[in-house]
Structure 1
């Protein structure tokens, strides 16, 4: 299992825990690497009960600031992990940028650290079906070397410690995640786009974006 000593004793803020595996996966990853982890989410502990309970039952040492955000969290932590649903122009993200903090998303971190080939699949409709079929076809040829992860319900970051150069990871990537990959000039080794329709325009400024 690979370790990532560059994160030991780093102060990491998970901005947006959510109820899916992405936020929980990031908490688990950074705690396992020896980082000092804080979680902040606008939702209350009751609203996030399922995820918070999993963290507490695991015995991991995590600080929670739920139901509100504290500006000090974005100024005092070394690394900010942004939930994909949070837009780049968010007040707290802009605060962290001005403070010259490192801002990542699960997907950007995965692309930077993964040692293997990545197949990325995105689009407005049909992502999950296409991702699953691609995974099954590759698995037929390459067996257990092929990993399925991403926006399909399985945190990509959970796979990271066990990956080698022999693996192929098939990722479903949302438009939100694509935005941060574009900004960081990161790209999969092979990509497939299903289609593009008007959707999520409450997050994207327009269809062209």
Structure 2
């Protein structure tokens, strides 16, 4: 950890807790700041805030009183989930108080360089792949951010011998002022999070912040098959390294004649890669580029690509029973994610789908259902998905109470060679607390069949 004096006796407000807020408050306290924590959850229901209070940190809970900003704060560290149109944030902006997110703090104290990954889809898989490749290549990686320990905690333990691999959201990237990853990756860009950002342009601009402070000494890996991401790469000061599933890239990663290449180097035959799906091939290409730029050997990269079966709940291979292969894609909480999952397989599919009804239809799925022989539905959206399955000409459509009951029904209506795929196209909250809980129930139900 770098010994910085920037925060000694500095009055800082940590706005919003959760893991990132707790991490930021603890780090700032360690750095000598006068820390006040403000969280909306009442203190009696807030063990995180109680723990900070016991350390002597000032804690104000139960609401976000705007008048708190009159106390002379020099900096606000904002929970990424709090939008900028929040009343408290707007008042802080009017007062000219700088606002950052926890990842900026982590960067300022870290001795280790960062590999940072963002994008609309594929962040978690790409981050995990890079971590595994660096680990196989003995590069002492540490994983941080949305899929690991919060960055400010990881950065305190990291040395110059480590590399921090971090997944970043657009929310986090709006709160950086110096963050400069050695390698940045923009996997792709689609319209998303408009309730937070307001417009597509604001969302894309937030994502582009990942390269904002990079220099000519850094690398920016971008999707060469997407005009929007490639344009951001061309405007970056960093060395732009494109990846493509369609075209040769002299300075990047690409597919040619059923092989994966980095620059002029043949890495692996595509058929030897275990992780299925065209969208995952994009994730793999960007991960390979990052690994090669970190001097990971081809042998280590190949070792990962021939054994890595996916991140949990993201098109995760569970196993095979009597010729049927089971995949858990519970993270597919929207139609686009399910479309990508369906395109990953050429064999007949038994699709398990349904969940929270957000008022949308599912007709967009119809072109992607040509390989689906049976649909098993559950949850609030069951009738809507059944209607779409009928439109697509699927003959076997079955409704069950929940995911646990869907698994044996799907098995009964399948044959050897089929894929049984949980890819709900819906959020889980009508029946399950999280998509992780839904996925775990699916996994357990599959194991019961064995």
Same-fold call, TM > 0.5? Answer: yes
| Residues 31, 60 of structure 1: 8 Å contact kept | no
| Superposed structure 1 runs of 4+ greater than 6 Å apart | none
User: Does residue 49 of structure 2 align to residue 52 of structure 1?
Assistant: yes
User: Does residue 166 of structure 2 align to residue 159 of structure 1?
Assistant: no
Separation in structure 1 between the aligned mates of residue 145 and residue 4 of structure 2, nearest angstrom: 20
Separation in structure 2 between the aligned mates of residue 15 and residue 176 of structure 1, nearest angstrom: 14
| Residues 109, 156 of structure 2: 8 Å contact kept | no
Separation in structure 2 between the aligned mates of residue 108 and residue 2 of structure 1, nearest angstrom: 14
Tell me the SS of whatever aligns to 1:37: strand
Separation in structure 1 between the aligned mates of residue 138 and residue 92 of structure 2, nearest angstrom: 42
User: Does residue 167 of structure 2 align to residue 169 of structure 1?
Assistant: no
User: Does residue 96 of structure 2 align to residue 96 of structure 1?
Assistant: no
User: Does residue 74 of structure 2 align to residue 78 of structure 1?
Assistant: yes
Q: Which residue of 1 aligns with 2:56?
A: 61
Separation in structure 2 between the aligned mates of residue 112 and residue 6 of structure 1, nearest angstrom: 10
Equivalenced residue count is: 201
> How big is the shift at 1:157?
0.7
Tell me how large the CA RMSD over aligned residues is.
2.2
Tell me the SS of whatever aligns to 2:195: coil
- The unaligned stretches of length 5 or more in structure 1 are none
- Match for residue 127 of structure 2 among 125, 131, 145: 131
Separation in structure 2 between the aligned mates of residue 124 and residue 50 of structure 1, nearest angstrom: 33
- Match for residue 33 of structure 1 among 17, 31, 34: 31
Q: Which residue of 2 aligns with 1:3?
A: 3
- Please give the TM-score of this superposition, normalised by the length of structure 2: 0.41
Q: Which residue of 1 aligns with 2:336?
A: none
> How big is the shift at 1:96?
2.1
- Please give the TM-score of this superposition, normalised by the length of structure 1: 0.84
Q: CA distance change for structure 1 residues 186 and 32 in 2, over 3 Å: closer, same or farther?
A: closer
> How big is the shift at 1:185?
6.3
Tell me the SS of whatever aligns to 1:89: coil
- The unaligned stretches of length 5 or more in structure 2 are 203-450
Tell me the SS of whatever aligns to 1:198: coil
| Residues 7, 30 of structure 1: 8 Å contact kept | yes
Tell me the SS of whatever aligns to 1:7: coil
Tell me the SS of whatever aligns to 2:84: coil
- Match for residue 184 of structure 2 among 176, 187, 191: 191
Separation in structure 1 between the aligned mates of residue 153 and residue 5 of structure 2, nearest angstrom: 16
Q: CA distance change for structure 1 residues 63 and 172 in 2, over 3 Å: closer, same or farther?
A: same
Separation in structure 2 between the aligned mates of residue 155 and residue 185 of structure 1, nearest angstrom: 18
Deviating more after overlay: 168-177 vs 101-110 = 101-110
Higher normalized contact order (CA 8 Å, seq sep 6+, divided by chain length)? 1
> How big is the shift at 1:189?
1.9
Q: CA distance change for structure 1 residues 102 and 206 in 2, over 3 Å: closer, same or farther?
A: closer
Separation in structure 2 between the aligned mates of residue 50 and residue 130 of structure 1, nearest angstrom: 33
| Residues 13, 73 of structure 1: 8 Å contact kept | no
Deviating more after overlay: 169-178 vs 122-131 = 122-131
> How big is the shift at 1:46?
4.0
Deviating more after overlay: 167-176 vs 66-75 = 66-75
> How big is the shift at 1:99?
2.5
Tell me the SS of whatever aligns to 1:203: helix
Which has more radius of gyration?
2
| Residues 139, 163 of structure 2: 8 Å contact kept | no
User: Does residue 201 of structure 2 align to residue 208 of structure 1?
Assistant: yes
